[in-house]
Amino acid sequence: MKKISILIISLIFAALIPVYSAPLTGGVSEIGRGNKVVDAKTNAPISGARVALPKEGYKTYTDKNGNFSLNTDVKDDTIMSVQKDGYRPFSITINREIASKPMVLGIQKSAAMDVVIDSDMLHLGDDNFSNDSANAGEFRLEAIGPSYTKRFMMTANTLAYNNFLVIGSIIGIDTKMARSMRQNSIRNSYSSPPEVFFNGRKIAEINLNGDNQKIKLPRALIKPDQTNEITIQTGVNLFQRAYIDYDDIELMNLSIQTE
C-alpha cells in the first residue's frame, strides 16, 4: 500500500514538473505583443476597443493607452476585428507573419449615414472543402448556406452621394484569379466568383480575398426611403460535375458607406 502511494505521488510530481519548468525554459513569447488601436485621423490611442479573432473564439480589449496583446496562436490567414462605439467596424486579415510584428490599427469615426448591415462573421458554402482551399484550416463556423440576404433602409438624402457596399474582410475565395495570385494551393480546380446583388440586380463579382472591398451601389437601383436588399451568393466549384460544391468562404463587417 505504501509503495503504491509513493508511486502515485511520484507520478503526480512527474506530471507537474514539465508544467512548472515550461515558463522557466521557454520564457514569454513576444509574438502578438506591442499592438495598438488608434483613431485613424488624430492618431489618439483608443481604450476599451474590442479586438477579436472570431474563428479562434478569441477576444480582448485595448488598455487605457490603446495597447493590446494577442495571447493566442495564429496560423493561416484569419480575420481580426476591432469594434468600438462611435467607430466604423474594422477588420483585417492577419496570419502568423503579420501577427509576429507590432500592429498599429487606425479605425475611423462612423459617419451619420453609415448603415451597418452585419458585424458578425458569416460562412457561406456547404462545409465541404479541400484542405488546399484558401484558409481551409481555419473554418470553424458552420455554413449558413450558399447565399446571404439582408434588407435595410436607405434615406432619400443618400441619393446626393456615392454609396458603397463595403465588405470589411473576405477569405476563402477559390477563383481562378485567387489561385493565380497564390491565395490558395489548389491545383486541379477553381470556382466561379461570389456574386453581389442589389435589389435583385447583379452589381459585382468578387474574385479576390482581401480587406475593405468597396462595391458602388448604382444610384438608379437605390429605393429612397424604402427597404433595400443586398444578396451575396458564393461561387461553385467549376470542376465538380457530380454534385454542386459551393465555394466555402467567410466574410465579416458588411456596411453601406457614403462618400
Q: Where are the beta strands (DSSP E) in 109-182?
A: 115-124, 147-154, 163-171
Q: Which of residues 67 and 189 has its CB atom nearest to Ca ion in the complex?
A: 189
In terms of Cα–Cα distance, which of 232, 97, 225 is closest to 154? 225
Q: Pick the closer one to Ca ion by CB: 7 or 144.
A: 144
Running DSSP on this structure, what letter comes out for residue 6? H
Nearest distance in Å: CB 51, Ca ion = 26
Question: Between 211 and 250, whose beta carbon lies closer to Ca ion?
Answer: 250
Cell for 49?
A: 476597443
Contact 67, 36 (CB under 8 A): yes
**Closer Cβ to Ca ion, 77 or 248, answer by number:** 248
- CB contact burial 75-114 (16+ within 10 A = b; e otherwise): eebbbbbbbbeebbbbbbbbeeeebbeebebebeebeebe
Residue 75 Cβ vs Ca ion, minimum distance, rounded to whole Å: 17
Residues forming contacts to Ca ion in the complex (CB under 5 A) are: 125-126, 128-129, 133, 172, 174, 245-248
Specify the 3-state DSSP secondary structure of 150. strand
Shortest gap between Cβ of 236 and Ca ion (angstroms)?
8
Instruction: Please report how close the Cβ of residue 243 comes to Ca ion at its closest, in angstroms.
Output: 10
